Chain A
């Protein structure tokens, strides 16, 4: 194994950034981890870090960690830097840094001498934790979702993340494929599973304001999605998002492409303010955006 060189090499790394809430980053990345071994594409730019994972051309997820979430963020690369790595390893490594009771700040660097992603705890001179994660030349993501709204008004609803998660969890019993139908009159979202039995879950907009917070739909749309993909979008919503009553936005685009957006807080508990690189001080703005795209099943379309 090649040992890392002793001193800093001459050419400075493209990215040096520091994050003071590792647990939030672990939460955000874990929410797109639906299986143990998952390859991810990491994209670095001036604006922040984007991590993309996908499965069988039907499910894609992105985690947006914008630069404002970091305590320090120096990007010196040209344009966008892309590399592949194992999501599971990244999460396991970051987890090592987030020991309870330790408010460690973690420095992230790329590339290392051997093109690794380097993590290092900073702040304590007498103890240090570090990780070097091997990266790969990126696979080209086989499909990039061109999400477009179908028609003039987007067909969308917003629900509490916990409600959506519970709904999808309940649909496990019929399993296989799930129909999502949105209808304007009466304004309702209907999840219907047909497999080992039928199960229909209705979320009526007017019945309970707690259920659907926003509802926008001018015509009836209905598409079917594989249950395992739907489940991947909600199964790992971090408990922090549920506790903080975060909302999830669901949009159905052209051709039935489903977009699901979660918000995950990267605020440090017990610390109302923090200093980020933009000089911002509000913890509430420290949100990572998570997006899932799910392709509908092909044998079914608008009813």
Chain B
């Protein structure tokens, strides 16, 4: 089992500035999954069933094409050249920041231009005071005046069967909802949800095929909801019914579900709050959708190729929130 690569500048700054802060908010420990073509950071994929994420927390998948993050990517294992292990996100982030700081030291006069690259390797080391070797992810770089080696402790690599389960869960999670609506302002949604969470723990989310997103918290004493209308729709769409302006938001939504033009699910407020932390990864677009049959609530984040409005296919980032009830669909 071998892994050795150099970070690209874009890759390390994506991880440092966007994805690690977001992943850290979603959960303390994540899986790193390396395949011959992709590198992934995953939350809550194991333990999930094929039908959808379990109640443990939102599934979160950040998948990068290997060339976006690494160059000279050397990966080999007896398990189809796939390696997976778990790591504490905060430790990983701290190590990255430390090597970045050294790496950023300006070269002394007379040095060859171009800073040396940051290397990452999977190693087995004997930690001080221990009798058995432990696996580490080691980051190494040289600055002008210093060199640094950071060892981040990781779990033992996942067994073949666990890697297979991870891959199966990923494959199952690939199904996109038939209708996705674009949420224009994620921080605003987060501030709304921060206020809604005082009201109740259970959130009803509905998405219509004509671009309405409806969030509602209901307890025996109070119902609070928010409706966003005329959002951009991707996938299956329908024309908005005419003359429903004067209806209440919840009536409109109930009627849309009855007509089969909307899906509605109940999700845990805490999971939604966690998934909203993903805006720390500064996506260019965010879409909400409900998986067929109300299996889960899916949040898809999209990135543009810098300087364009074209989707960057080398990054795939999404969350799947477990649902507590298949809803009224």
Q: Which residues of A contact B (CB under 8 A)?
A: 1, 3-8, 86, 89, 92-93, 95-96, 99-100, 102, 125-134
Interface contact A134-B226, CB-CB below 8 Å: no
Interface contact A7-B247, CB-CB below 8 Å: yes
A130-B248, A132-B223 given. 19 additional CB < 8 A pairs?
A: A1-B218, A3-B254, A4-B251, A6-B247, A7-B246, A7-B247, A92-B199, A96-B192, A96-B224, A126-B229, A126-B230, A127-B228, A128-B249, A129-B224, A129-B225, A129-B226, A130-B227, A130-B249, A131-B224
B204 smallest CB distance to A (angstroms): 11
Interface contact A99-B195, CB-CB below 8 Å: yes
Q: Which residues of B contact A (CB under 8 A)?
A: 188, 191-192, 195-196, 198-199, 218, 220-230, 246-251, 254-255
**Residues of chain B contacted by A4 (CB below 8 angstroms):** 248, 250-251
| Among B192, B195, B227, B251, contact of A3 (Cβ-Cβ < 8 Å) | B251
Q: Which residue of chain B has the shortest Cβ distance to A89 in the bound complex?
A: B222
A127 to B225, CA, bound (A): 11
Top 4 nearest A-B pairs (CB, nearest first) are A96-B195, A131-B224, A132-B223, A126-B229
The CB with the most chain A CB atoms within 10 A, among B195, B230, B251, is that of: B195
**Residues of chain B contacted by A131 (CB below 8 angstroms):** 222-225
A212 to B183, CA, bound (A): 54
A7 to B247, CA, bound (A): 6
Interface contact A96-B246, CB-CB below 8 Å: no
**Residues of chain B contacted by A132 (CB below 8 angstroms):** 222-224
What are 28 pairs between A and B in contact, CB < 8 Å?
Answer: A1-B218, A3-B251, A4-B250, A6-B247, A7-B246, A89-B221, A92-B195, A93-B224, A96-B192, A96-B196, A96-B224, A99-B188, A99-B191, A126-B229, A126-B230, A127-B226, A127-B228, A129-B224, A129-B226, A130-B226, A130-B227, A130-B248, A130-B250, A131-B223, A131-B224, A133-B221, A133-B222, A134-B220
Q: Which residue of chain A has the shortest Cβ distance to B224 in the bound complex?
A: A131
Q: Which residue of chain B has the shortest Cβ distance to A4 in the bound complex?
A: B248
A128 to B226, CA, bound (A): 6
**Residues of chain A contacted by B228 (CB below 8 angstroms):** 126-127
A134 to B251, CA, bound (A): 18
A3 to B250, CA, bound (A): 8
A5 to B246, CA, bound (A): 11
Interface contact A127-B247, CB-CB below 8 Å: no
A134 to B248, CA, bound (A): 17
A131 to B195, CA, bound (A): 12
A199 to B198, CA, bound (A): 38
A6 to B245, CA, bound (A): 11
CB-CB under 8 A for A93 and B199, given A4-B248, A130-B249: yes
A95 to B193, CA, bound (A): 12
Interface contact A99-B192, CB-CB below 8 Å: yes
A8 to B247, CA, bound (A): 8
**Residues of chain A contacted by B199 (CB below 8 angstroms):** 89, 92-93, 96
A126 to B223, CA, bound (A): 20
Q: Which residue of chain B has the shortest Cβ distance to A125 in the bound complex?
A: B229
Interface contact A134-B222, CB-CB below 8 Å: yes
**Residues of chain A contacted by B218 (CB below 8 angstroms):** 1
Q: Which residue of chain B has the shortest Cβ distance to A133 in the bound complex?
A: B222
**Residues of chain B contacted by A6 (CB below 8 angstroms):** 247-248, 251, 255
Q: Which residue of chain B has the shortest Cβ distance to A135 in the bound complex?
A: B221
Interface contact B246-A8, CB-CB below 8 Å: yes
The CB with the most chain B CB atoms within 10 A, among A5, A96, A134, is that of: A96
Q: Which residue of chain A has the shortest Cβ distance to B227 in the bound complex?
A: A128
**Residues of chain B contacted by A126 (CB below 8 angstroms):** 228-230
Q: Which residue of chain A has the shortest Cβ distance to B245 in the bound complex?
A: A125
A92 to B217, CA, bound (A): 12
**Residues of chain A contacted by B248 (CB below 8 angstroms):** 4, 6, 130
CB-CB under 8 A for A127 and B222, given A6-B248, A89-B199: no
Q: Which residue of chain A has the shortest Cβ distance to B221 in the bound complex?
A: A134
A291 smallest CB distance to B (angstroms): 27
Interface contact A86-B225, CB-CB below 8 Å: no
A126 to B227, CA, bound (A): 8
**Residues of chain A contacted by B230 (CB below 8 angstroms):** 126
Interface contact B198-A92, CB-CB below 8 Å: yes
**Residues of chain A contacted by B198 (CB below 8 angstroms):** 92, 95
A1 to B251, CA, bound (A): 13
A129 to B223, CA, bound (A): 11
A296 smallest CB distance to B (angstroms): 35
B266 smallest CB distance to A (angstroms): 13
A4 to B254, CA, bound (A): 10
A266 to B227, CA, bound (A): 27
A92 to B195, CA, bound (A): 8
